[in-house]
Amino acid sequence: MYDSHMDTPSQLLRLRDPGLDNAYAQVDFPKLRRGGMDGAFFALYTPAQMAPDAATRYALQMLSATYDAVEAHPEEVSLAFSPQDADKARKNGRISLFLGMENASPIQESLALLRTFYRMGVRYLTLTHNGDNAVADSAAEGKRWGGLSPFGREVVAEMNRLGMMVDLSHAADSTFWDCLKLSRAPIVATHSCCRALCGHRRNLTDEMLQALGESDGYVGINFYPSFLSDDFGKDPADAALLDEADAVEAAFIRNPADPERVEAWHRMQDRLRELPRPGVKEIVDHVDHAVSLAGIDHVGLGSDYDGILVAPEGMEDVSKIGCIAQEMARRGYSSRDIEKVTGKNLMDVFRRVIKAAESMC
């Protein structure tokens, strides 16, 4: 099983030891093992409000922390830069950690920096987060460029040449269509859901899902309750708790060594788990809908674990991810199709992007 998006690198900077089975972690190495995971993309996430210099520094710190974690647990995990690396790691009993970058701010309008991050192992770039940037418009704003910027067009072309996946989760609709038209390799949405089932602007329309399938691309279904169900957090008391949780988490992030802030964040997580939330059935509803439009070969899982305030009911951490395969089997999916959605499709689109780059040489 492979997951196309987890935000664990930022948690490493918050002093999490990934080798331990942490009570409040959505992802650590023991949980990956219990969940039957063969690998996952660890995303280097930088907030939209962070200045470019600070974003570059922060991305490098997360990158270093991920390398350090792998070095500390060589029998458990290994870095992977291609599907072939993952095949080798699996045969040796290790879990593969791939690297992605979420938000283009760290490349600072520099193709040289883009290439540098590629050389350090980053294999996809999520063009935007919750704000327009120098590369493209985001779903959260969508007002600066009307899609890709002139520099963004250069970025997509260079990513195609490198064999780096263009990730359009968080992108504005206009950015999606610009990339689909421009890219010479399949495009991906590593952690997105279906707008027909949940109207959040971050989700993909039916036309986008169909276009991903027709262009040999990929969508990884996101687990965040707000992207799964329009009902989540709509009660005023629930919405207030989510706002309070944002503030408590922000205080913890500012000083993760402060025991009082750690304890406050843990107490808040307990409260969040009491909220009414969608569960595995809603996740597979989105899988079903995406498969009906993009096709069984173009849908996977992009949980967004470690980047979401609270996970779905019964899916509190990655150790529970096998519940998705069980629900798919209950709905009549074949073992082969379950294998595709739970990892094979992600590795296949990665191979197609690499092959497209090789054909450009």
Residues 120 and 263 in one domain: no
312 backbone dihedrals φ, ψ, rounded to 5°: -65, 160
Question: Domain boundary at 248, 276, 304, which?
Answer: 276
Residues 224 and 335 in one domain: yes
Contact assessment for residue 192 and residue 204, using Cβ atoms and an 8 Å cutoff: yes
CATH number at residue 289: 3.20.20.140
Question: Domain boundary at 276, 297, 329, which?
Answer: 276
Q: Which domain holds residue 349?
A: 2-231+281-360
CA–CA distance, 13 with 26 (Å, rounded to integer): 15
pLDDT per residue, tens digit, the chain (361 aa), is 999 999 999 999 999 999 999 999 999 999 999 999 999 999 999 999 999 999 999 999 999 999 999 999 999 999 999 999 999 999 999 999 999 999 999 999 999 999 999 999 999 999 999 999 999 999 999 889 999 999 999 999 999 999 999 999 999 999 999 999 999 999 999 999 999 999 999 999 999 999 999 999 999 999 999 999 999 999 999 999 999 999 999 999 999 999 999 999 999 999 999 999 999 999 999 999 999 999 999 999 999 999 999 999 999 999 999 999 999 999 999 999 999 999 999 999 999 999 999 998 7
Number of domains in the chain: 2
CA–CA distance, 160 with 148 (Å, rounded to integer): 15
Residues 255 and 305 in one domain: no
Question: Domain boundary at 242, 276, 310, which?
Answer: 276
Residues 149 and 237 in one domain: no
Residue 360 is predicted with a pLDDT of 87
Angle between helices 259-272 and 236-254 (to 10 degrees): 150
Residues 246 and 197 in one domain: no
Residues 267 and 310 in one domain: no
Residues 263 and 189 in one domain: no
Residues 270 and 239 in one domain: yes
The dihedral formed by the CA atoms of 104, 110, 112 and 115, expressed in degrees to the nearest 10:
20
Residues 69 and 147 in one domain: yes
Residue 142 is predicted with a pLDDT of 84
